Structures are given as structure tokens and as C-alpha cells.
Amino acid sequence: MKKEITYREAVRIAIDTAMEKDERVFLAGEDVGRYGGSYAVSMGLLEKYGSERIVDTPLCESGFTGMGIGAAMNGMRPIVEIMTCNFSLLALDQIVNNAAHLLHMSGGQFNVPLVIRMATGAGKQLAAQHSHSFEGWYAHIPGIKVLTPATVQDAHDMVGLALDDPDPVLIFENALLYNRKGPFDSAAKPLPIGKAKVMREGNNLSIFAYGINLFKALDAAEELAKEGIEAEVVDLRSLRPLDDETIVASVAKTHRVLIVDEGWRSGSISAEIMARINEKAFYELDAPMARVCTEEVPIPYPRHLEEAAIPSAEKVAAAVRTLMKEA
């Protein structure tokens, strides 16, 4: 059935559907039960499934992430919710040294089918310890998959895809997207993990983006079209694995590249994408590649400084205009 719903509702429907279909699925995290989740994603699920499947945990990311790993290794299908990716650093040992590596270290004997959802990104005046974007960091690590749903459809579909995966999958949900409405088709066939999607066709340059920056790129593309610049906008969707095939095909079509990344510039996923294009499509380029990233500062609290620090449609459009002047 097709309808328009919010990103938050899409994630909730996906979790609800998965729990109805499979008794092994449970949700654990801080405030996911009685409070309904820090972003109200799990509102109402405690009443439907009870406290054994909607599990309020102590403030201990390492502890409840480790619990999820153990449950996954013993046949369950846990979904662990971490309030913000900033707090996931407290569970970094569990995610990297255990979840990501146990299959390798056990000689292929133990998969860890764990799903970890977490909010990411700035723009809500929550200051430095609640506003960063670490998805690029996690995309560095072999053994896990990193998904960044931007659309309402992907917010729903990626939960099911992650639960079907035999290995750990991290889903980064930009906090500004939860209230955003978009089309949702419950009968649509999900696009697989690891596939990017061309969201707007264009011939003059390629803009690669993910999460909320997809919409900033699309807004910029609309403005640039009025100036005669047709930008192709590609939703990366998955940061690990990256869809090299779609990226290279777009570069071969447009010959100019801009990457929009809410992570810091140094050592970012945008740097990785540039390196891959350099390796696989260097001779397709008509100009040096460019990127719009977050300024290399802790995200400020004041609204005007926060807005100045992160990518915007205006910054994207300005970068495109500069890029189009390159020979």
C-alpha cells in the first residue's frame, strides 16, 4: 500500500513488522520502552510486545551492545538502539573488537547478526557531544556494514535488510530526518545493501551525498538548474560497501565530481570516495574533484555557528559554481 508517512513512522513500522514475523527479534536501548525512544521511534511497542522484547537498558552502551552481540551469537535477532552515534564511542570495543571481528577470529564459525541503529548529525542545537557524524569512521572497519538511509522508503527497508544480514549492520539515522515525510510503499521491493541510487539525472556534474545531505544536494540542484547547470545527484545509501559501479558510471557521464559529507574533511568518507574515483575513473575527469564537509571544529551550540559549520544547500551550490569554472 502506498502512502505518505514520516521517517520516524517508517522505522517504527519496520521494527513492528519484523517483531511480528520473528519472535527472535527484540529491541534494546536507553528509553526505548516506557519513554518510547529518544526520538519516539519505538512509541507503543512496549505495550504491544512487553518488556522482554522491548528492553529498557541502563546508561551503559558497552554493556547493552555486548548483550546484543551475545544474543545474536545465540540465535536471536537483536536491534540495539544507541541514542546518538557520539555515545557509540562508549561501545567502540564491543562494536569493533567483537561484533566486527568475531567471524574472522572464530575461523568463520560465529556470525554476529546484530543490528545497531543510532542517530547522527547536527542541526538540533544539541552541541558537540550529541551532534557529530561518525558513520565515515565506522565505514573504515571490515566486518560491518554501514547504512545511511535518507528517504522514508529506505528508513523502512533498511531495517529489514539489516535483520536479514548474517553480519553486523550499523544504521545511521540523521536526527533531522525523523519528522520528514515522504512516500512509502509497503509492497515495494527493497534496493539491496551496497547499491547507490541516482535521485536526479544530470549531465554537467555528479553530486554524491547521503543522509540529510541528499536533500541539500537536491535543493542545490534545483537552484543550479535555473542557471543552466544540470547536476546529477546520487544517494550513496551505503557507505560500506560503497557502490563503486554506480559512482564510476556517473563520473563517466558528467566528468565533474562534488561530494557532500557531514563528517569532518580529514580522513572522511569523502576522501575515500575521491581516492576510489582517482583509482578507477581518473581519466574521465575534466576538473579536480571537490567536496563540502563539516568545518573541522566540534559542532557549536549557537544556531548561527552550528549552521555555519555544517554543509548547506547554499554551500553545495557555491561549490558547484566554482567547479564548473574549472577547465
Which residues, 6+ apart, have CB-to-CB distance to 125 below 8 Å? 301, 302, 303, 306
Q: Which residue has the cell 557531514?
A: 262
Q: Which residues are catalytic?
A: 61, 130
At 152, is the secondary structure helix, strand, or coil? helix
